[in-house]
Amino acid sequence: MKIKRVGFVGWRGMVGSVLLTRMRDEADFDVIEEPVFFSTSQTGQAGPEIGSQQTRLHDAFDLQQLSAMDVIVTCQGGDYTTQVFKVLREEGWRGYWIDAASSLRMTDHSVIVLDPVNRELIDQALDNGVRDFIGGNCTVSLMMMAMAGLLKADLVEWISVMTYQAASGAGARAMRELLTQMAALCVATAPLLEDPAAVILDIDRLAIEAMRGASFPVANLGAALAGNLLPWIDRIADNGQSREEWKGYVECNKILGRQQNPIAIDGLCVRIGAMRCHSQALTVKLCVDLGMDEIRGRLAEANDWVRVVENTPQHSITELTPSHVTGTLEVAIGRLHKMRMGPEYLTAFTVGDQLLWGAAEPLRRMLKLLLQR
Ligand code: NAP
């Protein structure tokens, strides 16, 4: 099928705008005959400028308009997907659906896309007529990009993942609120901070009082994140897990096509006060005792974006940090060394931009793949 019309929904949200920026950077629009932009709230208004062309926004709930698309790329969110996808398919629409939301990830008719890891699975699915391609959970995709060299070679028995997830994972409002909280802490402690003779425990007391105070801004995050951390992300699942932790296991195995022979993956997901890079500390039980040179080599060669960081204090605090990796496509992995538990036990720390490889990039590449077929 020759793809002509590509519809974009959710393009002005956080993931959608990163997607558009990447598509402009890579000149992807040059190969799309007719990009069409939709909105749930701004029908008729001006859409984004593509090249020299000014686009107009269509109604994202107009099924007739949507069904004229060969591909729909949506970064609008799960509620939108639930409302529109099923009806569109029931009415006979046979185009490709590319989605950032989680709603369809675990359905039988979808593939979770992360092409540097599961390109074969994607190609097979396309050959078999699959039309629903869904981006993975950000933390899962970033861990898999970093660990692809060992995961794809079937060298991993299990992984314990402890995450340090950025505010961006909770949306744009959460990012703003984190900064507002930081500002509130500065205001609360300013009088003593300015006094070099002030006692640090008095400064700390002011900060804690502000954090616990009724006027501290927590409307979006639910609690203080600045100067604090939140050891729960997403809804409650079974067995004491959060849904975010559950996704780590099910999505990773679906991406690898190993639902029948899953790798055990578990851990705790924690929100920290980073802006848009997720970090993860991994404990890995390898299937065999591999040498460190081989491990580093396999990780580094797995794809063009993973970067192995030397396990030194200087490299770790300069190159293996959210502030260093943010805004780049690089997925850094470092702190690599064997653990006291035995020669098959490896530890690692990885950092990746949650909005790039964690969200927009797998979708952009899936669209590109369809356009090139
Ligand atoms: P978002 O920023 O909240 O944007 C979603 C929609 O909100 C926009 O497309 C826009 O739709 C509407 N909107 C209302 N006011 C807006 C404003 N002032 N600026 C921009 N948009 C506004 O959502 P998101 O964080 O990108 O997430 C989209 C989907 O991706 C979700 O399903 C999420 O779970 C998934 N995802 C998110 C991340 C992440 O890091 N946040 C990572 C992976 C996957 P209209 O134009 O129709 O009004």
Cα atoms found within 13 Å of the Cα of residue 235, Cβ hemisphere only? 2
Looking at residue 31, the DSSP 8-state letter turns out to be G
Cα–Cα dist 190/161, whole Å: 38
Which residues, including other chains, have CB under 8 Å from residue 159's CB and lie 6 or more apart?
143, 147, 263, 264, 265, 267, 282, 283, 284, 285
Task: Ligand 1, residue 15: give the atom nearest the CA.
Answer: 26
In testing the pocket of ligand 1, which one of 14, 84, 244, 251 has its CB within 8 Å of the most ligand atoms?
14
In sequence order, what are the residues at sequence separation of 6 or more whose Cβ sits closer than 8 angstroms to the Cβ of residue 168? 14, 174, 175, 275, 276, 354, 355
Give the residues across from 30 on adjacent strands: none
Chain-centre distance for alpha carbon 160: 19
Cα–ligand 1 centroid distance for 101 (angstroms): 10
Residue 326 alpha carbon to ligand 1 centre in Å = 19
**Ligand 1 centroid, distance to 328 Cα (angstroms):** 20
3-state secondary structure 315-329: HHHHHCCHHHHCCCC
| Distance in angstroms (rounded) separating the CA atoms of residues 74 and 108 | 19
How many Cβ atoms sit within 10 Å of the Cβ of residue 128? 8
Q: What is the distance between the alpha carbons of residues 288 and 341, in angstroms, rounded to a whole number?
A: 14
pLDDT tens across the length of the chain (373 residues): 678 999 999 999 999 999 999 999 999 999 999 999 999 999 999 999 998 788 899 999 999 999 999 999 999 999 999 999 999 999 999 999 999 999 999 999 999 999 999 999 999 999 999 999 999 999 999 999 999 999 999 999 999 999 999 999 999 999 999 999 999 999 999 999 999 999 999 999 999 999 999 999 999 999 999 999 999 999 999 899 999 999 999 999 999 999 999 999 999 999 999 999 999 999 999 999 999 999 999 999 999 999 999 999 999 999 999 999 999 999 999 999 999 999 999 999 999 999 999 999 999 999 999 999 8
Work out which ligand 1 atom sits closest to the CA atom of 77: 32
Look at residue 126 and give its three-state secondary structure: helix
pTM for this entry: 0.96
Active site residue 278: yes
User: Which residue's alpha carbon is nearest to atom 20 within ligand 1?
Assistant: 13
359 Cα nearest atom in ligand 1: 43
Q: Give me the catalytic one of 75, 252, 269, 278.
A: 278
Pairwise CA distance, residues 179 & 327, whole Å: 18
Residue nearest to atom 21 of ligand 1 (CA): 13
For 121, other C-beta atoms within 10 Å of its C-beta total 19
Asked if residues 220 and 171 have their Cβ atoms less than 8 Å apart, the reply is: yes
Q: CA dist 54 to 16, 19, 50, 283, 294, Å?
A: 18, 18, 6, 50, 52
Which residues line the pocket of ligand 1, CB cutoff 6 A? 10, 12-16, 39-42, 60, 75-78, 100-101, 138, 168-169, 171-172, 354-355, 358-359
Q: How far apart are CA 277 and CA 358, in angstroms?
A: 9
**Atom 12 of ligand 1, nearest CA residue:** 13
3-class DSSP assignment, residue 302: coil
Ligand 1 centre distance from Cα of residue 327 (Å)? 18
Active site residue 252: no
C-beta of residue 113 within 8 angstroms of C-beta of residue 122: yes
What are the contacts of 308-311 at 24+ separation with CB within 8 A?
Answer: 308/333, 308/334, 308/336, 309/333, 309/334, 309/335, 310/334, 311/335, 311/336, 311/337
